[in-house]
Amino acid sequence: MVKALLIVDVQNDFTEGGALGVTGGDRVAEGITRHLAAHASDYDAVIASRDWHDADNDNGGHFSDSPDFVDTWPVHCVAGTSGAEFDPLLDTTPITHEVRKGQGKPDYSAFQGTTETGSRLGELLDELTITEVDVVGIATDHCVRASALDALDSGVQVRVLTDLVAGVGEDSSRAALAEVEKAGADLA
């Protein structure tokens, strides 16, 4: 088995104090750093996704001055800003590949993004012959959920490390994890 860690959107705008800060975001960043310090050798690749939105438009209706927090959101993770950077508590040294998503459109899954060379995440996993993915990051009930479901759809085994995720809401996060588990992922 060839295994990857997928770190979803552990960015300043999604951790405490950010434009869409999630309670527990800094804890997740620190936890992923500790996890990688102890387990980096367990992974053949460490892939990190980032929201990377355009500054000069509404990103396909994703940004709104009066967001509904379901389909529309306040401005966040604008390319090249501090909000789009990885949380400083996340050690990025072990990251082998980066995927940027939401470039002019509303993307939730890391599988909608592209690498620096323009490949989609599914193509990268195929190229690296990845058969297992551990998923961690922010937010459990949005981008972690969408990324885990798309990973399952791509045919890899998925495990969500539940102590290394943080969500917007308790109930919605529980529902997201139940949905991912029902779809075939392991929760650990």
Residue written as token pair 């990688």: 36
Q: What is the dihedral of CA 92, 98, 103, 105, to 10 degrees?
A: -100
Total length of the chain: 188
Residue written as token pair 């939401």: 102
- Those residues whose C-beta lies under 8 Å from the C-beta of residue 24, and which sit 6 or more positions away, are 166
Determine the pLDDT at residue 125.
97
Structurally, at CATH architecture level, domain 3-187 sits in 3-Layer(aba) Sandwich (3.40)
Where does 29-124 show beta strands of DSSP type E? 45-51, 97-101
3-state secondary structure of 102: coil
β-partners of residue 133 are 4, 158
**In angstroms, rounded to a whole number, what is the distance separating the alpha carbons of residues 155 and 132?**
9
Domain boundaries, the chain: 3-187
Residues catalogued as catalytic = 9, 101, 143
Residue written as token pair 């306040």: 74
Mind listing the pLDDT tens digit of every residue in the chain (188 residues)?
899 999 999 999 999 999 999 999 999 999 999 999 999 999 999 999 999 999 998 989 999 999 988 889 999 999 999 999 999 999 999 999 999 999 888 899 999 999 999 999 999 999 999 999 999 999 999 999 999 999 999 999 999 999 999 999 999 999 999 999 999 999 99
Residue written as token pair 């323009």: 118
Determine the pLDDT at residue 94.
97
Running DSSP on this structure, what letter comes out for residue 87? P
Determine the pLDDT at residue 70.
85
Nearest to 46 by CA among 112, 91, 108: 91
